[in-house]
Amino acid sequence: MSDPIIICRDVHKWFGHFQALRGINLVVERGEVIVIFGPSGSGKSTFIRTINRLEEHQRGEIIVDGIELTHDVRNIAAIRSEIGMVFQQFNLFPHLSVLQNVTLAPVWVRKWPKEKAEEVAVQLLNRVGIPEQADKYPGQLSGGQQQRVAIARALAMQPKIMLFDEPTSALDPEMIKEVLDVMIELAKSGMTMIVVTHEMGFAKAVADRMYFFDEGLVIESGTPDEIFQAPREDRTKLFLSQILSQ
């Protein structure tokens, strides 16, 4: 029954003397949707960036799809091509058109022929609801459209896992829903997802488990029902009351 795809044991991370992660233990099963929330500076972004090694952890171990993350460059490349990531600031490549943004990695990393990559890209742009923008440049799109392109770009590599680092925090309110709809559809399709977000509606709808981070530690975890109905820790209660009262 248990089929873990990500195993993190006692993950520690320092920036200089500042300790960002103080021993994170977290296991993600295949097909699970995990929501991580917590106050800013709690290490949640740092943590998901260690999973595809945009940040290097200094103690503990991270095993993704059976491969342990070490300094071995081949491991890192193999793992990154299995993990898609969506950033708070979208980070589309401004010098490439939408279509080129989506086909870049499949063509250069997966070595797909251009025709195949473009076919897949058009399908994905359809799936995220913006097929008509393929030849525009990122600067010509709204924030919500850019973020959906970013999701399509990550999906083009056909990843086994998707990481979302506060994907709606930089968006105007009226655009949040269009991005969340895409993410909900993705979650229902069975994708393994780790989502750092404060969108509690999204968490209630699709999360299998939630983790509350504070000061580099997992304070509390559980199903959305457990977290929302009966949080055990005071800090969780306080934080939830703050963000739900807004």
Q: Which residues contribute to the site for other proteins (CB under 8 A)?
A: 52, 54, 77, 80-81, 83-85, 87, 89, 91-97, 100, 104-105, 108-109, 137-140, 150, 153-154, 157
Residue (84 or 231) nearer to other proteins, CB? 84
In the complex, least distance from residue 243 CB atom to other proteins, rounded to whole angstroms: 25
Place of tokens 């793992």: 79
In the complex, least distance from residue 219 CB atom to other proteins, rounded to whole angstroms: 27
Residue 192's DSSP bridge partners are 161
Residue (193 or 210) nearer to other proteins, CB? 193
In the complex, least distance from residue 136 CB atom to other proteins, rounded to whole angstroms: 9
Contacts by 68-74, CB closer than 8 A, 24 or more apart: none
**CA end-to-end distance (rounded Å), the chain:** 40
CB atoms within 10 A of CB 125: 22
- Residues 131 and 128: their CA atoms lie apart, in Å, by 8
In the complex, least distance from residue 237 CB atom to other proteins, rounded to whole angstroms: 34
Residue (28 or 210) nearer to other proteins, CB? 28
Residue (106 or 231) nearer to other proteins, CB? 106
In the complex, least distance from residue 109 CB atom to other proteins, rounded to whole angstroms: 5
- Residues 48 and 50: their CA atoms lie apart, in Å, by 5
Place of tokens 């969108």: 199
User: With contact defined as beta carbons under 8 Å apart, do 75 and 233 qualify?
Assistant: no
Residue (100 or 145) nearer to other proteins, CB? 100
